Chain A
Amino acid sequence: MHEAGIMESALAIVGREAGAHGATRVERVTLRVGAISGAEPEALRFAFEALSPGTVAEGAELVIEQVPARAHCAECDTDFTIESGFLFECPVCRAFSGDVRSGRELDLARLEFFESTTPNHVHQH
């Protein structure tokens, strides 16, 4: 239940990065969330809806790219993907692995916003 806190920091980073790129409004926020990051995509969506109003991300679309967990088996030197669950059992030799290679991601992957450039107005004095 700490997704709200995670989303608070996410929105702070979104605000900072949007500002750095001169965007006043963000159209799409893409997060990368690993299968064993401990953050639930649904809870993140809920927190986004609750916390984004009033920020540059108000009304933006939230995209969550889920990253499957991958582990390395030391017994037979194989990298493998864990389809579901938390039992990291090597498909080749059936050994359990604690050597996690991916799946802990919890990143702001990408921001999309659009800029409108109107023709320069000629000021007449």
Chain B
Amino acid sequence: MSTNIEEIPAEGFRINALSRAAGASPRNLSAPLSAEINAALDASPGGEVRVQSVDLNIPLLEKNDILAERNRGYFLGRGLLALNIVSSPGSGKTTLLERTLDEFGKDERCAVLVGDLETDNDGRRLERPHAAVAQITTGTVCHLDASMVARAAEEIDLDGVRVLFIENVGNLVCPASFDLGEQVRVVLLSCTEGEDKPLKYPPIFKSAHLVLLTKTDIAAALGFDRKLAVENIRRIAPQAQIIELSSRSGEGVAAWYEFLRARLPRRR
């Protein structure tokens, strides 16, 4: 049997079909695979075994990525700014959103999708007559994905809404990989967490457009070095804007509202 390598062009991917591939493959076949091919050849007298190697290059999160792009188009088409708010549990996402709804939300209509594994406690905390809120309970899932956001967005009235806050499940690891269709990714780092958090959980900080250093009102009491924290954020995430704020004292929140206002899509 002669060694014969043929290239079969097909739409979008490449197939290399080889006969008697075990002996002369352009890719190094592993020993067990060669052995299997030889066994298959021995078992089919007169026949041949062809190894097909199909180059695919398909994103593993293809399904999520497609849904995320659909969400993004939907949000942009409605003229609203969608933000994915990510942090560890307890960094102050909900407290920041409470204050934001009470102040910024009085001028610009806001809505919130909030994710947790269980309970609608955060959804209840955020409920306001002037802001639509939907709670997503994920069960055991450690992050929100684009399909959860799409389904939750259908549940609330987005008429006239300018800003959609998507409060992710408290987790500094997994949400990094899941695009929700947001225009802006906001990562919170609170002063209770330690200045080196960005160095310890870099992927999420790498993907941030904005990093909020929260709970600055208690930084001094904690002996938290704000300068060092900001320096660490800048080293890991030079692309991100940084705002230091306290949702309790109100320090820095004006800069956050300014950030939001500057990114509002044109009124439709």
Contacts and interface: CB of A to CB of B under 8 A. Distances in A.
Nearest to B30: A61
A109 B56 contact: yes
Contacts of B44: 116-118
Interface string A1-25: 1100110011001000100010100
Nearest to A74: B238
The 6 closest A-B pairs by CB, nearest first: A98-B239, A86-B202, A98-B238, A118-B47, A2-B174, A96-B238
A111 B56 contact: yes
Contacts, number: 135
Interface in B202-258: 202-203, 206, 234-240
A110 B54 contact: yes
Contact of B206 (A5, A86, A89): A86
Interface residues of B, number: 49
Given A61-B32, A114-B37, A119-B46, A9 B234 contact: no
> Among A2, A10, A99, A109, which residue has the most Cβ atoms of chain B within 10 A?
A2
A21 B60 contact: no
A56 interface: no
B36 interface: yes
Given A100-B206, A113-B54, 8 more contacts: A13-B60, A86-B206, A98-B238, A109-B57, A111-B54, A114-B21, A114-B37, A118-B46
Interface string A82-125: 00011111000001111110000011111111111111000000
Interface of A: 1-2, 5-6, 9-10, 13, 17, 21, 23, 27-28, 31-32, 36-39, 61, 85-89, 95-100, 106-119
B40 A114 contact: yes
Nearest to B198: A86
Main secondary structure on chain A at its contact with chain B? mixed
Contacts of B63: 9
Interface in B36-54: 36-37, 40, 43-44, 46-54
A21 B50 CA distance: 13
A83 to B, nearest CB: 15
Contacts of B36: 27, 114
B206 A21 contact: no
B183 to A, nearest CB: 17
B72 interface: no
Contacts of A31: 60
B176 interface: yes
B203 A38 contact: yes
Contact of A119 (B47, B50, B236): B47
